C-alpha cells in the first residue's frame, strides 16, 4: 500500500510533453517521413519525464499508459499542425507524383484527375477517419515507446534485509571485548 509520500505523479504533463513533441514533428511535411520513430520517441520522452517525477520505480504498465496518453496527444497535435500546413503538403505530394509519372510507363486510370486535384479533395469524414486511425496507431506506437522508456530509465528498487544495517554499528559483544 502506498503512503502519501509514495504516490506516483500525474501522467498528464509527461504525456503532454512527449506527445506534443512527437505530434509536432509528425505534422511537419518532410520531417514526417520518420513518423513512427517520432511517435515511439514521444512515448520514450513521456516515460523519461514520468520517471523523473516519480519517487517509485516505474512498471512496464506505467510506461504503456503514459505512452498511450502521449500517443493520443500526438494525434491531436498532428491533426492541428497538419491543417495549416495542408497546402504545403499537397504541393510536395503533387511534385512527388509528377516525378513518379516521368519514370512510370503506364499510369493507372484516374491518374490525371488525382494530379489535377493534388490530393486536395479531403472531406470532413475522411479527415475524422484519418484522425481516428492516427490516434489508434499513435497510441500503440507510443505505448511501445513508453515500455522502452521504462527499460531505459528504470530506477533501482532499494534492497531490504541485512544490508540495511549500517556497517559502523557494533554488536553488544564487540563493546565488551575491547
Of the pLDDT bands very low, low, confident and very high (cuts 50, 70, 90), residue 82 is: confident
- The pLDDT assigned to 7 comes to 47
pLDDT of 178 above 60: no
From CA 38, how far away is CA 45, in angstroms rounded?
Answer: 10
Does residue 50 fall inside a structural domain?
Answer: yes
Does residue 96 fall inside a structural domain?
Answer: yes
Region 73-95: what's the mean pLDDT? 83
Q: What is the pLDDT of residues 22-45, one digit of tens each?
A: 999 998 877 877 778 999 999 999
DSSP string, 130-173: HHHHHHHHHHHHHHHHHHHHHHHHPPPPPP-SGGGS-TT---HH
Does residue 87 fall inside a structural domain?
Answer: yes
From CA 22, how far away is CA 135, in angstroms rounded?
Answer: 12
Of the pLDDT bands very low, low, confident and very high (cuts 50, 70, 90), residue 158 is: low
- The pLDDT assigned to 122 comes to 62
Residue among 65, 59, 35, 18 nearest 153 (CA): 59
Does residue 89 fall inside a structural domain?
Answer: yes
Helical packing angle, 60-82 and 12-27, nearest 10°: 40
From CA 157, how far away is CA 59, in angstroms rounded?
Answer: 11
From CA 75, how far away is CA 177, in angstroms rounded?
Answer: 71
Of the pLDDT bands very low, low, confident and very high (cuts 50, 70, 90), residue 137 is: very high
Region 67-86: what's the mean pLDDT? 91
For the chain, the average pLDDT equals 79
Element (H, E) at 106: none
Does residue 44 fall inside a structural domain?
Answer: yes
Domain that holds residue 146: 9-100+132-154
- The pLDDT assigned to 53 comes to 86
How far, in Å, are 8, 79, 145, 162, 172 from residue 69 at the CA level? 16, 16, 12, 41, 56
For residues 141 and 167, the model is more confident at: 141
**CB burial of residue 102 (10 Å; 0-12, 13-18, 19+):** exposed
- The pLDDT assigned to 45 comes to 96
pLDDT of 57 above 70: yes
Of the pLDDT bands very low, low, confident and very high (cuts 50, 70, 90), residue 161 is: low
Does residue 19 fall inside a structural domain?
Answer: yes
- The number of distinct structural domains making up the chain is 1
Residue among 126, 95, 120, 121 nearest 30 (CA): 95
Joined together, the cell numbers standing for residue 51 give 520517471
Give this prediction's pTM: 0.70
Does residue 163 fall inside a structural domain?
Answer: no
pLDDT of 150 above 80: yes
Amino acid at each position: 500500500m502506498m503512503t502519501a509520500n509514495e504516490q506516483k505523479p500525474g501522467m498528464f504533463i509527461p504525456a503532454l510533453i512527449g506527445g506534443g513533441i512527437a505530434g509536432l514533428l509528425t505534422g511537419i511535411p518532410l520531417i514526417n517521413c520518420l513518423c513512427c520513430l517520432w511517435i515511439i520517441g514521444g512515448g520514450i520522452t513521456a516515460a523519461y519525464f514520468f520517471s523523473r517525477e516519480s519517487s517509485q520505480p516505474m512498471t512496464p504498465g506505467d510506461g504503456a499508459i503514459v505512452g498511450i496518453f502521449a500517443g493520443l496527444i500526438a494525434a491531436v497535435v498532428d491533426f492541428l499542425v497538419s491543417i495549416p500546413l495542408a497546402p504545403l503538403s499537397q504541393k510536395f505530394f503533387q511534385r512527388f507524383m509528377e516525378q513518379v509519372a516521368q519514370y512510370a510507363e503506364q499510369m493507372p486510370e484516374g491518374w490525371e484527375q488525382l494530379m489535377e486535384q493534388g490530393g486536395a479533395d479531403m472531406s470532413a469524414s475522411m479527415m475524422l477517419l484519418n484522425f481516428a486511425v492516427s490516434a489508434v496507431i499513435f497510441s500503440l506506437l507510443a505505448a511501445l515507446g513508453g515500455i522502452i522508456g521504462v527499460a531505459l530509465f528504470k530506477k533501482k528498487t532499494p534492497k531490504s534485509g541485512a544490508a540495511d544495517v549500517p556497517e559502523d554499528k557494533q554488536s553488544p559483544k564487540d563493546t565488551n571485548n575491547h
